[in-house]
Structure 1
Amino acid sequence: MNRLRRARPWLGTLVEISLAADFDTPALLVAVEAAYAAIARVHVAMSVHEPASELSRLNRSAHLAAVPVSADVLTVLRAALSFAEDSAGAFDPVVGGRLTALGLLPACEVTAAPQSTWRDVLIDGDQLRFRQPLRLDFGGIAKGYAVDLAIEQLHAAGIAEAQVNAGGDLRVFGPASQRIALRDPRAPSQWSQIVELDDQALATSAPYYAAGSSPSALIDPRSGSPYAGADSISVIAPTCLAADALTKVALFAAPALLEALLEQHDAQLLIQRCAD
């Protein structure tokens, strides 16, 4: 099979696509371009750092009146709200207000109400409205969704084997399992464990490379408290969206709720302890 590997900056990280098929190189390049186009679509719609993004527009105006939303944003939002409900708020896409207050997101024109939560987000068909000013942030789920879209594009193009890796949130498919190295939480530049994925996704949350005394960007949405641990939390699941979201659930949810969600999503939890 002919093989191709490309990397581009999207989603606030480097997105790498590796693929193989019985195609010539121009055909592989067409498939890669389709995959990156799907990733770019998510970035343009859901970046909280881009004032012109659809997500930023919603955060500015959805508390004033119902606003139409795109299919991509609606899909991610419905999934995020489901994880929020099932985890009793341990995962919450309305965490953006708390992250802004901590200086972890850029300032916004609208100040989020301090007690706003996922329960303040109302969906009516393809319309979205907020009960009060708040700030949606899809940082805990959008990368996984983008990876899944890219994988769908590669499948549709007839690619036989592929891996899409967005800064550690990744998904693979092909006739054989693929070996993935996990970073050592004690020395993130080194590998500590190898896992094998067979048409599966993997996501990891950990306070790697935290800048000095800066608070972790991993926030308990209910209290606003940053994750104080140093362990690495990885989840293997059928989709990268689920794996991405479940790593945050694993940090903050009650054990019984976490266990139920892992079972519901056919997911596996891997914890790498920082201390022996």
Structure 2
Amino acid sequence: MLTSIFGAFKAFLKRTLQRLAVYLLAVFVVSPLTISLAFAEQKLVAIEGRTMGTTYHITWVAKSSFTAEQTANLQAKIDLRLLDINQAMSTYIPNSELSLFNKTASGTAQKVSAQLYRVLEMARKISVQSAGAYDITVGPLINLWGFGPDKRVTKAPSAEQIAAIRKRVGYQHLKLLADNKIKKEADLYLDLSSIAKGYAVDQLAKIVADAGFTAYLVEIGGELVSRGLKPQSQPWRIAIESPIAGRTVQRVVRVDDVAVATSGDYRNYFEEQGRRYSHIIDTATGRPITHNLASVTVLAENCALADGLATAFLAMGVEKSYLYAIDNGIEAFFIIKGKTGFIEKMTPGFAQRIVQ
């Protein structure tokens, strides 16, 4: 079983940099001679802010009469919702629901909010369907290898250290009971950083849609949802970053009416005696993975699912991930480390969205 999630803030910031492998191309060009009356009555409204150790950006198509005060009111709702999500799922807020549960002893049952329970359900479903490649309990192993908040190590831990920590890892030790109650049957430490951003994107998109907007793009730290089209029926587009140093663009992709998430392993690692250790951990061994998948971008019906699957796919490797994607109707784009450079592989549906 393979897995990858980030244990805490420091690793989460690094992971955010990786996952900013997807960034927005929200620029469109039109000739003044072709601006229609309908276009003249529309405008793009954009807001931004900070959350979850990264930034959020939201752009939507509004009537030209939409005011700055209305924009501020909508952003206030968005910021309040983000505070609520963080209070439920953050591992760096000491009194968040998740932090309080993490502090409880093995055998403890605790009632949690409906939204936290729902995200735990989604995480468990991905864990089961990916045969454990996705696991929100892997934080202690992430920390042991120096990719968590404790410290940055440059030496691999001993076999004895790995064996001791593995006893604290395993999604099957978390029980989801009736009435929004959860129970740990081991000394678990849960970390939802591999799905919470995606869930937050979905929730912010709902706020924008409930406000009456049908064309928008919502993004948090590179994870995003888009709906509808920009003015003059232009599609939303994103650029997928190449693993090559210098933040060059690998591909430009049309992403109308879809959720997108990206995960990569090409920035967060350390080297010892000429060997590179990735932050992606194989929980079957307690050691970093050794396959050659550098980055994966996933398209899905919602961003929580895309977020979790991007993490799972990166842990699984390209062969297993590609088969999973085909069998389950998931569109995905893989960048693979070859002997002389990077190789692309993508599902047929993803190929249809390639712009350049």
Q: Is TM more than 0.5 here? A: yes
Change (3 A) 1:208 1:44: farther
Equivalent residue, structure 1, for 2:50: 9
Give yes or no for the alignment of 1:231 onto 2:285: no
In structure 1, what residue type is equivalent to 2:106? H
Question: Measured at CA, do residues 105 and 54 of structure 1 come closer, stay the same or move farther in structure 2, by a change above 3 Å?
Answer: farther
Match of 1:259 in 2: 323
Letter in 2 for 1:189: R
* Aligned-partner Cα distance in 2 for 1:52–1:193: 42
Structure 1 residues 1-276: aligned runs within 5 Å: 1-22=42-63, 23-61=66-104, 63-106=106-149, 114-125=167-178, 126-175=180-229, 176=233, 177-187=235-245, 189-210=247-268, 213=271, 215-228=277-290, 229=292, 231-253=294-316, 255=319, 259-260=323-324, 263-264=327-328, 266-274=329-337, 275-276=341-342
Which consecutive residues of structure 1, in runs of 5 or more, have no partner in the other structure? none
Structure 1 stretch 234-243 or stretch 41-50: which is displaced more? 41-50
Aligned counterparts of 2:86 and 2:327: Cα–Cα separation in 1: 30
**Percent of paired sites with the same residue:** 28
Unaligned runs of 5+ in 2: 1-41, 151-163, 343-356
- Counterparts in 2 of 1:217 and 1:163: CA distance versus 1, 3 Å: farther
Question: Bigger CA drift: 177-186 or 8-17?
Answer: 8-17
RMSD of aligned alpha carbons: 2.4
Amino acid at match of 2:210: A
Alpha-carbon separation, structure 2, partners of 1:258 and 1:44: 35
Quote the offset at 1:2 in angstroms. Answer: 3.2
TM-score (norm: length of structure 2): 0.70
Whether contact under 8 Å (1:98, 1:224) holds in the other structure is yes
Aligned residues: 272
Structure number with bigger Rg: 2
Distance 1:226 1:113 in 2: 13
Moved over 4 A (4+): 254-258
Higher relative contact order (CA closer than 8 Å, sequence separation 6+): 2
Deviations 1:28-81 (Å, cap 9, x if unpaired)?
A: 332233223222322222122222221111111162421111111111100000
Distance in 1 (CA, whole Å) between partners of 2:205 and 2:166 is 37
Verify the 8 A CA contact 1:161 1:174 in the aligned structure 2.
yes
Flag the 1:261–1:238 CA change in 2: closer, same or farther, 3 A: same
Q: By how many angstroms is 1:113 displaced?
A: 6.1
User: How far did residue 198 of structure 1 move?
Assistant: 1.6
Q: AA paired with 2:265?
A: P
- Deviations along 1:223-270, whole A, 9 cap, x unmatched? 333344462111111111111111122123374576345643x42110
Report the Cα distance in structure 2 between the residues aligned to 1:71 and 1:62, rounded to whole angstroms.
Answer: 22
Distance 1:56 1:8 in 2: 24
Aligned residue for 1:94, secondary structure, equals coil
Residue identity matched to 1:224: G
Q: 1:226 to 1:128 in 2, by over 3 A?
A: same
Alpha carbons of 1:208 and 1:113: their partners in 2 closer, same or farther (altered >3 Å)? closer
Contact 2:218 2:225 survives alignment (8 Å): yes
